Chain A
């Protein structure tokens, strides 16, 4: 079945460092791809999304490009802040597979001042 694999954390960076969190997926058809963020003690918030190949999702300085040839949706940010410390989840939604949102295991990011 469909699946999502993320790089393992925790990832620790200094403020203003460049961030990459890798995400690859396995799916039939043409899923939509998402990044969700979970701040400490809170639920999940949608960070960005892309619905077709070569789409770039962006929000709050974060970007991810839907790469069908490499089945990837890596999350990037040019300059992280302490307030970006959170757990980031990559996810796919495949309407060919019942429209269920399937998550990666999450990557914890810690940004130090």
Chain B
């Protein structure tokens, strides 16, 4: 069966430090992969999506970047974190057409 893993579950980082969040999917090949952010008290915003290795589309200008070095691996990064980068980050992959997305358990990032 297909599963999605995200880590770490929680992270506290100082302003200006780098960031790397990892997401991996098992049990499928060539999935579409997505990074969402949920800021405190707000909805979900799509940050990046990828339809294949090395293919990244950015939805909003920001301090973050994404990479897909392997078919089932999606990484969210930053060189220097800002306070405004705090939030709940969710990775997702898309199953077959019409079935929506499956989400990971999320990473709660607090920038201090």
Which residues of chain A have a CB within 8 Å of any CB of chain B? 32, 34, 36, 42-46, 49, 51, 89, 91, 93, 95, 99-106
Number of interface residues of B (CB under 8 A): 22
Q: Are A43 and B90 in contact (CB-based, < 8 A)?
A: yes
Q: Are A101 and B99 in contact (CB-based, < 8 A)?
A: no
Q: Are A49 and B99 in contact (CB-based, < 8 A)?
A: yes
What B residues does A44 contact at CB under 8 A? Answer: 44, 90, 92, 103
Which residues 34-65 of B have a CB within 8 angstroms of A?
34, 42-44, 46, 49, 59
Q: Interface of chain A, helix or strand or loop or mixed?
A: strand
Q: Are A100 and B49 in contact (CB-based, < 8 A)?
A: yes
Q: Are A89 and B43 in contact (CB-based, < 8 A)?
A: yes
Q: Mask for B87-110, Cβ within 8 A of A = 1, else 0?
A: 000101010011111111110000
Of all chain B residues, which has the CB nearest A103? B44
Q: Are B102 and A46 in contact (CB-based, < 8 A)?
A: yes
Pick the contact of B43: A42, A51, A100, A106 (CB < 8 A). A106
What B residues does A102 contact at CB under 8 A? Answer: 46
> In the complex, what's the smallest C-beta–C-beta distance from B21 to chain A, in angstroms?
13
Q: Show 15 residue pairs from A and B whose CB-CB distance is below 8 angstroms, ordered by the A residue.
A: A32-B98, A32-B100, A34-B100, A43-B103, A43-B104, A43-B106, A49-B99, A95-B97, A99-B32, A101-B100, A101-B101, A102-B46, A105-B42, A105-B43, A106-B44
